Each structure stands twice: as structure tokens, then as C-alpha cells.
Amino acid sequence: MRLATKATHQQTRAFNHGLVLRTIYDLGPISRAEIARVTELTRTSVSELVGEAIDEGLVEEVGRGPSSGGKAPILVQVVEDARVVIGLDLGEQAFAGALVDLRGRVQRRIEVPVDGRDGKAALGAVERLVDELVDAAPAGRLLGIGVGTPGLVDTETGEIRWAVNLDWQDLPLGRILAERTGLPAFVANDSRAAAMGEYLFDVNRRAPNLVAIKIGHGIGAGIVLGGELFAGDGFGAGEIGHTSVVDDGVECRCGRFGCLETVASSRAVVEQALAEAARHPDGDLARRLAQNGGELTIDDVAEAVRAGDEQARRIAAAAGRWLGRAVAALIGTLDIRHVVLLGNVTHLGDPWLDAVRDEAARRALTLLSRETSIEIGGTSEDTVLLGASALLMSRELGLVPAR
Ligand SMILES: [Zn+2]
């Protein structure tokens, strides 16, 4: 029935406030008359709303523009450090947090290793990270908290329904952080936050549509359509990691069999490499395994690939082909021209990327795949936390920091 409900006066006012602020943000320095022309609001409304934003410290007057005959108009612009956002990236190896200004610039950054923590211990680490950033923030300027986390997330409530690695189930992270700090908190799946970060902060890309796939321990895609993050009906859009792709495949950590993660994730690649090392005790992978005291990481495999080891290259290519199938399905469904690959599996480099591209091209409609670029992304190591911050700013102020 939401469509039938009339917007209240207050909602309209909040919407117009956001519209005016966004206009100043995107086009400033700008005069009040120009804002009225662009937004199609009355001059009186614009003056009131600009006055409000100046009172809030969000906007300032910055001199006069060129005159078009009469008196030269006063120009206003957004004060970029008027507010800061705490952005968090709950990564596999480390939890990173930063203070981010309204233009998406990182002011201060802290990182803590995960060290295998999960459940309550992991939550405790997140809370300490947030406390430290709250203390570090300039007084009275904190706008809120934006979190990118692995797992299935209800972005409306900020509840993490399920994050396997962190052993979180039905965890109301948004509410916990909001109650702890008194600030609004926005929680999104990390792949989706990364997609938003890639979309907003890659200066070379101007396309309105983009798919970003994060391939690490888990695999997930974030889909940006027309500049907006697409969530799906149940917040599960882009959850491609647990789509079964192998008939009679091995058991996945989700309890089902043959998921994409069992053949294309960092864990799958490392398991293949361990098996290969056992089969060929005098090979490159076995040598690295011995050097590392019986452990291999995705980066060890990546180094073996770079060193030209045949087995490692074969493993990388096989993982790439499995991912390529998933990419082909996305291209076929969405007809999106830009696919960005993120996460530590991308460290496998060209043999892996070539396999992803070849398989996607082979399986998708030629007309579509020919037009699609598949690239390794990562405009910044902070893509996830910047994307999460941007989502919070967009929700709280109607601002989309970008480019
Ligand atoms: Zn699975």
C-alpha cells in the first residue's frame, strides 16, 4: 500500500532538502537562483532550504558569481568536511575502518587483523574499531556509520541474516552500532558496497550500469543499475557464490554440493594447489608449501603462477573458467557492459583473467559479450568502506559522493 500513501509534508521537506543539498554538492559553487532553476523549486523554498543547510554547517557562502545584468549573485557550496562518516570493511584477513569526508576522502584509517575471530569476539573487534574512530572524529561532525560485511544482509534493518565465515546469524549489527554510538548505521553486503565504491570512485568509468564480483573466500556480485544499487526482492541479488554449478560436486560450507565457491573461491584454489603439491612433491607448489611450514595461501599460488609454474597456471585457469560461466550468465541476464573483478583471487593475474574472459565470451551471446569489458578492478584498497560510506551519505543526506 506504500504507493497509495501520500507523502507527508515532512517527507516532502526532507526530500527537497536532499535535492537542494545534492544540487549544491554536484554543481556548486552555485547561486540560489540557479538552484531554483535546476530543481524547479520556488525561489522562496530554495532560500529557506539553503538557509537551513547553512545553519546546519553543511553549506557556506563563497563570494559572488558573474552578474547577468543586475547585482552579482552570492554563490554557495557544500563544506566538504562538515561531516565525516565512519566506513568499515569487515574483510577476511582484517577489519578496516576509516573516517571519510563528504567527498569520499579518507581522513584517518585503522586496521585490525581478524586472527580467526568469529561470533562474539569478531563483534567485539568491530565495536572497538568503531569506538576508536568515534574518539578520533572531530566533535559534532559524525554523520553515521557505513558497514560493508560478508554475508546476506537486510539493508532495511541492518541485520546480518547469515555470514558464514564470521559465524554471525541474525545479528542486528546496524542496531547494535546505532545504539552504541547514537549514530545512524547502514549495513550492506561487501560485494554490493564494493560495486558502489567502484561505480562512484573510478574516474575512468562513466557508465550507469556495472557488475562488480568479489572473489575471495566467498564469491558475491554487486549490481549497480542506473546508478542505483540493486538489492533484489530479498536482499540477495548477486549472491552467485552458492549457485550450484558442478554436477556431483563436493560439499560446500553452506551444506549443499557443487556451489561456485567450491571451484572458484580462494579456498578452492588453495585446496587444488595442496592436492597438486601432494601429487608432485618435487614441483614448485610443493617447494613453496615446504618453505611456508605446510601452509599455502592464494598469494603463494599467485606467485607460482607468475613464476610460470604449469600446474599453478592450470589451477588458475580452471578456477577462471568456472567464474567465466557465472559471468556469462550475468551478461546474458543483465546485458551490462562493465564487469569488474575484485578480491584476492584476482591476484592470480592474466592466466586466470584470460580464462574468465574466454569462458564468458564462449558462453554468452556473442553480440552481448563482444561489447562487455571484464577487468580486474580495485581503484582503491578501500573500495568496500568507501562504497559503504557513500551508501550512508546517500541515505542520510541524499548525497552521492563521486568522481
Ligand atoms: Zn554453497
Alpha carbon of 253 to ligand 1 centroid (Å): 6
| DSSP single-letter state for residue 292 | T
**Of 69-78, 144-153, 160-169, where does the model show the most confidence?**
144-153
Percentage of the chain beyond pLDDT 90 is 65
Alpha carbon of 300 to ligand 1 centroid (Å): 25
Q: What is the CATH number of domain 84-199+382-397?
A: 3.30.420.40
Looking at the chain, which residues constitute the CATH 3.30.420.40 domain(s)? Answer: 84-199+382-397, 207-376
Q: Does domain 207-376 have CATH number 3.90.1150.10?
A: no
Alpha carbon of 245 to ligand 1 centroid (Å): 10
**Residue 205 amino acid letter:** R
* Separation between Cα atoms, residue 87 and residue 158, nearest integer Å: 14
* Separation between Cα atoms, residue 130 and residue 153, nearest integer Å: 19
Looking at 29-33, 38-42, 229-233, 329-333, which range is the least confident one? 229-233
Alpha carbon of 248 to ligand 1 centroid (Å): 13
Looking at the chain, which residues constitute the CATH 1.10.10.10 domain(s)? Answer: 2-78
pLDDT band of 205, cuts 50, 70, 90: low
| Segment 158-186 mean pLDDT | 94
Q: pLDDT by residue (tens digit) across 85-118? A: 999 999 888 999 999 999 889 999 999 999 989 9
Grid cell 591476484 is found at 347
Alpha carbon of 98 to ligand 1 centroid (Å): 32
Alpha carbon of 261 to ligand 1 centroid (Å): 6
pTM (predicted TM-score): 0.82
**Residue 290 amino acid letter:** A
pLDDT at 400 over 80: no
Q: pLDDT by residue (tens digit) across 268-290? A: 999 999 999 999 999 999 999 99
Residue 206's pLDDT is 61
* Separation between Cα atoms, residue 388 and residue 193, nearest integer Å: 5
pLDDT at 257 over 80: yes
HEC assignment per residue over 343-397: CHHHHHCHHHHHHHHHHHHHHCCHHHHCCCEEEECCCCCCHHHHHHHHHHHHHHH
Looking at the DSSP assignment, which residues form a beta bridge with residue 106?
Answer: 100
Closest CA to 178 of 142, 149, 152, 151: 142
Q: What is the CATH number of domain 2-78?
A: 1.10.10.10
Kindly state the greatest CA–CA separation across the chain.
84
Alpha carbon of 18 to ligand 1 centroid (Å): 41
Return the number of other C-beta atoms located less than 10 Å from residue 187's C-beta.
Answer: 30
Alpha carbon of 213 to ligand 1 centroid (Å): 16
Looking at the DSSP assignment, which residues form a beta bridge with residue 60?
Answer: 77
